[in-house]
Structure 1
């Protein structure tokens, strides 16, 4: 899997134009995960590693016109596709590294992150940066539209014990990064870990 920035950019840059076409049925899963994250009207929310912006419309629906929706991604081609799909109308797109967000500390109520954790170069520090921009009591959703086993099968590999998203690895990782894991789901149709920003 790509890890350093150049590789991440190249990997997703090459795939951006075909991304939505490859995964056309993921919309409802994104909407359901946003609902579980539970942003409220007027909240400020970030889609970290937003890609083509599939979470932005449900996030906007949740926070309403008074709310703030940001989508940050490292890959210009992904943001271009988000604009092409009209999703820039649901939130402000930032060409930004989630490891160094151009966002004030404690400014956000919630962060949504789909498929992000596998691509973080320094997971503990990177999750700590997500914690920095969220107020105490704010929430984090780590989401993927398929579960770990289904994703591994799609990529022609097996799940290993050292997978960061395994419950016994992810709980302590989040705890060491300013989060408290509240819920964990890993089934074929989705992966969703919910965490709360510790004080």
Structure 2
């Protein structure tokens, strides 16, 4: 993998530090703030096409709420790996160690070989990737040709913006017109795009 020049490295490090600090101070209360999301997670995982025996990467796994659901989908013969940048989030996710391996890592520089993963599940991930093109390209690197990416949030873009007291902006990365071209240039072929009040789910296949 080519290393970015020093200026890019410094900017990347700053973004990582800001992201880590943001989630570190929220880790303890995270699940209590969003207690009713599990059925939406389960539905998204069901629609992702994940099957028994596959290798699934929960990229930005946070407190691990998706990990038991991913384990149920791949069964005892599958592999579930949760990766997160923030130690405090992984501490909360540790209750799921019987269901998944956990690794602290930057999703733009994963300690994984090429073409290993069948499905990348990213809940709330795309908005927090430092350098989204770099992150999506790295996720494509570790995914086998024909494997899949599922970018999910239990709220659609408008509903999430309203919850935060913000309007939707024209430059929102998660909008179809912005995200689909980005996926095409980072190794993914968009498959479906759903943005409703109770679901944001984008599925893309790893380009062969």
- The two structures have a TM-score, normalised by structure 1, of 0.96
The structural deviation recorded for 1:89 is 1.7
The within-5 A match list for 1:14-53 is 14-53=25-64
Q: Work out whether 1:161 is the aligned partner of 2:170.
A: yes
Q: Work out whether 1:149 is the aligned partner of 2:158.
A: yes
Offset from partner CA, 1:70-121 (integer Å, 9 cap, x none): 00000000011112xx222211010111011111100111100000101111
Selected match of 1:88 from 84, 87, 97: 97
Q: Unaligned stretches of 5+ in structure 1?
A: none
**Partners of 2:98 and 2:37 in 1: how far apart?**
20
| Aligned residues: CA RMSD | 0.9
SS class of match (2:182): helix
Q: Work out whether 1:176 is the aligned partner of 2:185.
A: yes
SS class of match (1:181): strand
**Partners of 1:105 and 1:56 in 2: how far apart?**
22
Selected match of 1:4 from 15, 38, 51: 15
Question: Which protein is bigger by CA-based radius of gyration?
Answer: 2
Q: Unaligned stretches of 5+ in structure 2?
A: 1-13
Aligned structure 1 segments of 4 or more residues deviating by more than 3 angstroms: none
Q: Work out whether 1:103 is the aligned partner of 2:88.
A: no
Offset from partner CA, 1:9-48 (integer Å, 9 cap, x none): 1100000000000000011111111111111111011000
- The two structures have a TM-score, normalised by structure 2, of 0.92
The structural deviation recorded for 1:190 is 1.2
